[in-house]
Amino acid sequence: MDVVVVGGGIVGLSSAHYLAERGVDVTLCEAGSLGMQSTARSAGGIRSQFSTAVNVRLSEASREVWDDFEDEFGVDIQHRKAGYLFLARSEETAAEFRENVAMQNDLGVDSEYVDPETAREYCPGLEPEHFVAATYHDEDGFADPNLAVQGYAGAAREAGVDVRTKTAVTDVLVDDSGTERVVTGVETEAETLRADFVVNAAGAWANQLAAMADLDLPIEAHRRQVAVVEPTESVPESVPLTIDLERGSYFRPEREGDAIVGGHFGGDTDPVDPDRYSESMDIDWAAEAVERAAGHTTYFDGDSRIKRGWAGLYAVTPDNHAILDEPLPGFVVAAGFSGHGFQHAPATGKLVAELCVDGEFALTDVSALVADRFESGSDTDESNVV
């Protein structure tokens, strides 16, 4: 069996690796360099605190890999389990938190619903009077996406994957001579690559690739920004990734007392052209992000120094859930993760391999992620703050 994976980010590399492990001949085509688009610009979050069961299941299936990554791939991804702390300002959000924790607990995740004073025990700089409730899970945390790319890329090459960087796909080949249209490969500037399956792991460019096969995927590129800040009060490394959910703001500890500060608000909620967007951080946005964090913690104030930052892309669907499906015979989509692609990449790669080799998913139930769910109206939704 021959498979072409399009996209050299963490999802594409994971897919290529697990396909090759199953004995598939894999060619991976990346228009630029490996992992240098959305993956490199990710905040690196790894969590199981999601509001839908399908995302919790993807997290738990991926966690097994993240926990043993160094042993399996020989790369220390600096996986720090400082936890995730979600904060609710309203009783309505608090009620949703209770439901989420109950669902997560049912699926084996030991998250907890806590009051604001208990939340301050996890995040000592928190000003609890702004909140009515919180949720926390000590197994959540973050890792270095660039190191994870190194691990998967090395393993993929060792397994025999033909990794081709600076190789843009210019067309998707479709045979429509029979009773149904079937994808049979791709064109690059250099050659035709025939394949039994083409895997669309193109992230923010996934809809562009799908359009080459006359498919319309509801995936938009949204610009997201991150700032590295020197706080007024050092943020200990034990502090969780802390999210003020209703204000779309978060921060987490970085090294040597610094912090990563981010969120989405203002123009960051609008779609952009993935080929024409600014990769630089907007200083006005960064100032507002720090101000939002300063509004409920003691770590930040007007003296906090913005050191640097960057912008990257989320591949966003209408319900903030991925598409993981074969909408056209021979064309597998693993895209639209809406900010969750890095953390769900291990499970996604295994599922892609199952679909191509076995013809069905076995690792976990992802039936909610079919491509045509938007036509009938998706009843799922998820936060994509981080």
Give the model confidence (pLDDT) of 269-327 as tens digits: 689 999 999 999 999 999 999 999 999 999 999 999 999 999 999 999 999 999 999 99
Other Cβ atoms less than 10 A from the Cβ of 383: the count is 17
pLDDT confidence of residue 14: 98
pLDDT confidence of residue 383: 62
Domains of the chain: 2-63+145-219+319-376 (3.50.50.60), 82-140+220-316 (3.30.9.10)
- The answer to whether residues 201 and 5 touch, using CB atoms and an 8 Å cutoff, is yes
Structural tokens at position 236: 């200990």
| Average pLDDT over every residue of 195-206 | 98
Residues sharing a CB contact under 8 Å with residue 336, sequence separation 6 or more, in sequence order: 206, 217, 218, 219, 315, 316, 317, 321, 322, 323
| Average pLDDT over every residue of 185-204 | 97
**pLDDT tens, residue by residue, 213-228:** 999 999 999 999 999 9
Q: Are strands 25-29 and 2-6 parallel, antiparallel or unpaired?
A: parallel
Number of H helices, E strands in the chain: 10, 20
Closest to 242 measured CA to CA, from 86, 46, 113:
86
pLDDT confidence of residue 375: 85
Model confidence at 338: pLDDT above 90? yes
| Average pLDDT over every residue of 181-192 | 96
One-letter amino acid of 221: A
- The answer to whether residues 243 and 83 touch, using CB atoms and an 8 Å cutoff, is no
pLDDT confidence of residue 269: 66
pLDDT confidence of residue 385: 63
Which pTM was predicted? 0.95
Residue showing tokens 């995740």? 109
